[in-house]
Chain A
């Protein structure tokens, strides 16, 4: 690790000023579960490390019946798991947290940090995109909301400017009878995903599918939003057969990138079908418990 100056602001204002002053030479420290390893390898060598751990306003989360969930960027996976905020509609978030790394890492890693890390094999980017979250960022130029779909800009890249700090992840309120789920495949428990699938289903009054969405993770350098697969479900009565058809459509639609570690595109394509089906089945099951 190269040496750096350690800065520990006690207010968001102070943190914003520090980022404005040091710009590209500075990095924000959240849980450090990715950043410290990158610094040990000298992939990242910030001259200033701005530790956000004392910014209390970033460590709270709350539900609002109109606005949905607001999750502070520094809320840890563990805190979110214990929060009781993740109902059926946000079920995919709970699923994702459960399969990230291990308990020790989940005690420290944060939702904001993992989104800002934008690891193509990371879990949280897929669920914030699937839930159409808004990412709230602050810099000396002001506050802005970035749609999650536009936030992830490729391998370890986000839409944030170098002096911007992510402060909140806002998950919009979902209609009643919404269920969502996340399924991931890795060879060993807690490893990064080889392929993952995030699915959401909202049922209409007659029990037919009013809305569906699906995101495939690890296939490309950013979460992949599917068009055809969810449209197979919309306006139909949901059955295991229709879900199998939607999964088949996902299989047809996704061309995963091959890589040297995890294998061929064909192998991953098979995983897309399996995980799409599993996540849809589980999301569907949750629509029945979908009290928001």
Chain B
């Protein structure tokens, strides 16, 4: 069986795997990080979105072998020291989630957008998340959450932390 060695959220995971293993299964079953969700398993819904070497991908449509010797970032890697990132915090404050199943994927796509465009228009935000589906159809609030995060990141000021991971 081939050996895969991949750094996920800074931590190295090495395993011998069946080559059929999808990156999503490697993340969930081998690394035990279950924040990334399986929606459609066809690369359409975006609930499994993670970053590989800084680019967003749908982890259900990529072999885990393709993450060999690469850096993977999942939703669990966004918070630092138990504090939500500004983007997560803005999703929380703006009610940018309902059932929450799609949220991890949306956050990864939004993170990618804000890394490349500090001042996106609403249109650009919608463009950047069109590979993610929200079955609760809460898109308006998601756009507002991302817009708020863009503003906060631009202002560069640390907002008081209201929510803590795990509380």
Residue interface bits B1-35, CB-to-A below 8 A is 1, else 0: 01000000000000000111010000000000000
Chain B 35-62, CB-CB to A under 8 Å as 1, else 0, gives 0000001110010010000011110011
Interface centre among A33, A37, A107 (most CB of B within 10 A): A107
Q: With CB as the reference atom, state the residue of chain A lying closest to B22.
A: A36
State which of A6, A33, A78, A190 has its C-beta within 8 Å of the C-beta of B61: A33
Is A189 located at the chain interface by the 8 A CB criterion?
yes
Of A67-75, A96-104, A125-133, the segment with at least 4 beta carbons within 8 Å of chain B is A96-104
B-chain residues with CB within 8 Å of residue A204 when the two chains form the complex: none
Q: Which of A60-119 contact B (CB under 8 A)?
A: 78, 101-105, 107-108
Q: Which of B96-142 contact A (CB under 8 A)?
A: 109, 112, 128, 130-131
Decide: A104 near B18, CB < 8 A? Known: A40-B41, A190-B130.
no
Count residues of A near B (Cβ-Cβ below 8 Å). Answer: 25
Bound Cα distance from A1 to B61, whole angstroms = 12
B65 within 8 A of A: yes
A residues less than 8 Å from B57 (CB atoms):
104, 107-108
Asked if B153 is at the interface (CB within 8 A of a chain A CB), the reply is no
Q: Which chain A positions have C-beta within 8 A of B164? A: none
* Size bracket of the B interface: 20 to 34
Give me the interface of A with B, judged by CB distance under 8 Å: 1, 3-6, 8, 29, 32-33, 36-37, 40, 49, 51, 53, 78, 101-105, 107-108, 189-190
Residues on B close to A: CB < 8 A?
2, 18-20, 22, 41-43, 46, 49, 55-58, 61-63, 65-66, 109, 112, 128, 130-131
24 A-B contact pairs sorted by A residue (CB < 8 Å): A3-B20, A4-B19, A5-B19, A8-B2, A32-B62, A32-B66, A36-B43, A36-B62, A37-B42, A37-B43, A37-B61, A51-B63, A51-B65, A102-B131, A103-B109, A103-B112, A103-B131, A104-B43, A104-B46, A104-B131, A105-B131, A108-B57, A108-B61, A189-B130
